[in-house]
Each structure stands twice: as C-alpha cells, then as structure tokens.
Amino acid sequence: ARLDEVGGTAVSSRLLRPRDCSIRVGLHVRRGDACQRWAAPADGAVDPEGDCGTAVGRPCYATSHYLHAVRSLARAHRARSRSHAGGAASANGEGCVTTILLASDSPSVALELAAAVAASRDLRLLWVNIRRGADWGGTAELSNLGLGAAAAEANFIERRNSRGLLNRSAVLGAALADISLLATAHAFVGTAASWLSRLALLCVIGQSGSVPPFALVDRPMAELWHTTKGGALCPPHGAARARSGPRQ
C-alpha cells in the first residue's frame, strides 16, 4: 500500500510542538454496511436493536459532520498554540495547516473529503490507497440504507464473513495500514460505537503518552447503544449487548 495525498506532505512521526499551529487529525469514518439511516450528531437516537426502547437502525453521519469536528479541534489547537507563543502566532490561523489522516471502509468518503480539501487553503488529506469496503467482500456501500433489522443484518460484515464472502487478508491488511496511519495523529475524530475508532484512539495515546484531543460524533466514549444517555445499561437486554460491544 502507498500513501496518497491531496496537496499535502508525507506523514511525519515528529511530536507536536506547543508553538506549532499546524496539526494532524486522525479521522475514522465507518459507513459501508453499517448505515441503515442518516443521523445527526448527538441526536440520542442510536439504538439500532431496540435495547433501550424502539429500534431505530444503525446510524451513519454525513462527511460534513466529521469535517466540522475536525475543524473544531484544529481551531482549539490554534488557540492553544497562540497562547504558548505569547500571541505571536497568526490570530486568523494563516499558515496553519490541518492534515486529515483518513481511515474508512468507504471510498466515497475519501472523494468527498478531497473535494473539501481542494476548496480549502488550510486542509490537507492523507489516506492509504488500498482495497476497501465492497472490494474486500463487504456489501455495496449504503445498501442497508432504509432497511429493517432482519434485512440489513444479512449484509453485516459479520454475517458475510460467516458465509465465506470476505477476503479476510484484505480486511486485516486495510485495518493494520489504517491504524498505522491514524497512530501518528495529534488529535482524533471518530464514533464511540466503532471498535476501530476506539482502537485508533488507544494507539494515538500509546504513541504520544497522553490522551489527545478527540471528538466522537455519535455519543460520549462511555455511552454505547445498549446504555441510556447517562451510561446505565438498558434492561432487559443491556447485559448481553455489553458483552458484544461496539461494531467495527
């Protein structure tokens, strides 16, 4: 695999300097078979199997929501860098570059972000050019949109794997390549309901030795689908869902 980029420079392993207003933000976007409906961040309706009430279907979020979170982290970082520099850094962020390190099972997400980067002066984009989603045996992107639980479940990656439809080597290779890229980030954006998002955040912590700034577009880290908004398990199936955990 090779690193592809849009107007950016190769990923460096250097540690973030407090006075440096540029930042690398790791971004994980789970789409593919996971989308039964488009959702709004923090809308509270993230209970696909009905553990806490009415099943609403697995949520996905538009690329614009993730990009908003990336820009929010970048703005906060620029403010901190100005403080460390005694106000010497550019107040409007001129010369400050936000490099997005993208991992996704969706080729279309890379295209959408590339278009946003092309229209921006302060964004760069890096991702690993490797087979993804349907190319490794997953279902066609957004094919579960609008489907009920029973119809959608047949397309879930777990079910396709049990039927021998996945190229497991391709899935593993893509995941390892993406994690290696995301681990070099200074900040992170993803979803709490995704195992890969959580793993990526842990890798950034391991690389830097501290918890980085991060944003989750669905729910806080402690809240999963099988919990109330306060984090308590939902009866009667909450305990079973707790064992199964988040999705990929």
- The tens digit of pLDDT for each residue in 168-217 reads 888 888 899 999 999 999 999 999 888 899 999 999 999 988 899 999 98
Which pLDDT band holds residue 8 (cuts at 50, 70, 90)?
A: very low
User: 102 by DSSP, 3-state: which?
Assistant: strand
Tell me the average pLDDT of the chain: 78
Q: In this predicted structure, what is the pLDDT of residue 36?
A: 87
- A 10 A CB-CB count for 151 gives 11
Q: How far is CA 189 from the centre of its chain?
A: 5
d(CA 81, CA 95): 13
Condensed to tens digits (0 to 9), the pLDDT of residues 135-154 reads 777 778 888 898 887 888 88
User: 39 by DSSP, 3-state: which?
Assistant: coil
Report the first-to-last Cα separation within the chain, whole angstroms.
21
Is the pLDDT assigned to residue 6 strictly greater than 70? Answer: no
Q: In this predicted structure, what is the pLDDT of residue 82?
A: 76
d(CA 67, CA 73): 10
pTM of the model: 0.81
